Structure 1
């Protein structure tokens, strides 16, 4: 698609959704392709912080290339005619898929592994997504793609955003005001995986304060319906302290039935891995 396309080049077909910062339409590109057209609200375009967030989403969507990231097709980051044209997914997101009930293990594993690979790609480039959740994972058949980079933390971010993310999926350290790291994305993926296989999040609370307390202090309820190694691996992502969590590379290796490679030096935990991981990764004779 021609990157020089403007907002006026797209024909609106129907409204897909209204978000806090943007309206999303099903639109048709000049070549006839259906796209998701994201238009920032007026108050977003005139608010410096929110305008930066939208611009970041445009630039990252157009600049990042990975088979499991939603692809940006055209866009303009700033101005009255700011917009972002994205791949359109007729099947919607994992949130819509979850409305039908928990996923079969094989289906869920495929999606989780793809999202993990997308996050590893981001982390290798110094980017922390900060908002991993079912509503931001879009599906087409057996393919899953992670989208929405509005609150992502980037290496060159001179205007750090406030604590970002969706409370049900946020890592404990973020509630304590600590900086987001790849380990925080790993925790969010753990919540997502738990939800895919159980049909519920590990912590469902009636108040925000109760939810914070649960993330900080309570172990998740046992995860049933999947074999023990998979359940243990998901719980390994949900460790309360970042240094005790599985890295996403290790998690993917577990999903593939492999023993993990040594953790890279810059990811080494400051304390020994818990005995859970030693049991999980022990090779069979």
Structure 2
């Protein structure tokens, strides 16, 4: 009996010790900085945990290594990898505590310095500042683990790049354009540009189109660094480091994405097609109305001031049929 009690106490002590380590691993916060995407953000970076962090820095650094319980593996059951890119991998996961499916993005490159962590957090901060919108991939949580950033996101059915072989009808392309124009209007009204609109970053869930991957998001007022997105979807002005019309960069990229969808072509990073599209020379699109083709042409105009704003795009009469049918 005494032996059983003793063993039980040892197990409890071991559990408490492990829980304490896990608590330190999870709760010790990263540097707390202002969110530059919020209009009421303070001008001064603050770290309210700085004093506590310095007191326990030795313990914190010692428990974030290989022996530290993984929040990712503790909280989620990994099902399969559903995406991979230059900077990150995306996994389909089941959250153990609520039984729901999510997508978790892991930033591949180790983030060893505070400066690197702050840069990586820009995506999280832009999503948090924007809040909920039906046409933005939902953001749930994020955390640092073993020098990597993890972002828990809404799980979508697929992205449009996986459907490029099936050409969209003009009506479906207009539905996509209208929903994405609405989310660009939502973002631009809040002073934020996406700068990486492309088929890889347009997702579909239950028939609703959603914009994701805000790793290049910046402020329209040029108060934050500008990191251009995929060159295939970028207009001449941003490639030439002219950042005066960042909202119109998103409009060009959305037009290029729609062009790719209805033609089934793959945009190039250089060459004749690349130059022709940036000079406003779109080829004739058989089977599509001149009204639709003119819309793409003006969205991809070489002069950013000639492109419609997101507000003007949303209000375009070309979407009247979509609005009447209640598709958006």
Normalising by structure 1, we get a TM-score of 0.78
Match of 1:174 among 238, 245, 248: 238
Residue pairs, 1:1-285, within 5 angstroms: 6-7=71-72, 8-29=74-95, 30-43=97-110, 45-46=111-112, 51-64=117-130, 65-76=132-143, 80=147, 82-89=149-156, 91-99=157-165, 101-154=166-219, 159-162=224-227, 164-179=228-243, 181-200=246-265, 204-205=267-268, 208=270, 210=272, 213-217=275-279, 219-254=281-316, 255-257=318-320
Change (3 A) 1:211 1:178: farther
Residues of 2 paired with 1:47 and 1:94: CA distance? 35
Residues of 2 paired with 1:173 and 1:211: CA distance? 17
Structure 1 runs not aligned, ≥5 long: 259-285
Shift of 1:241: 0.5
Once the two structures are superposed, residues 124-165 of structure 1 have per-residue CA deviations (whole angstroms, 9 ceiling, x without a partner) of 011010000011000023200000110111268765034x11
| Mean Cα deviation higher: 187-196 or 220-229 | 220-229
Change (3 A) 1:211 1:160: farther
Residues of 1 paired with 2:203 and 2:255: CA distance? 17
| Mean Cα deviation higher: 65-74 or 48-57 | 48-57
Matched length = 248
Residues of 1 paired with 2:163 and 2:278: CA distance? 29
Structure 2 runs not aligned, ≥5 long: 1-26, 28-70, 322-328
Change (3 A) 1:54 1:95: same
Q: Secondary structure at the match of 1:131?
A: coil
Larger radius of gyration: 2
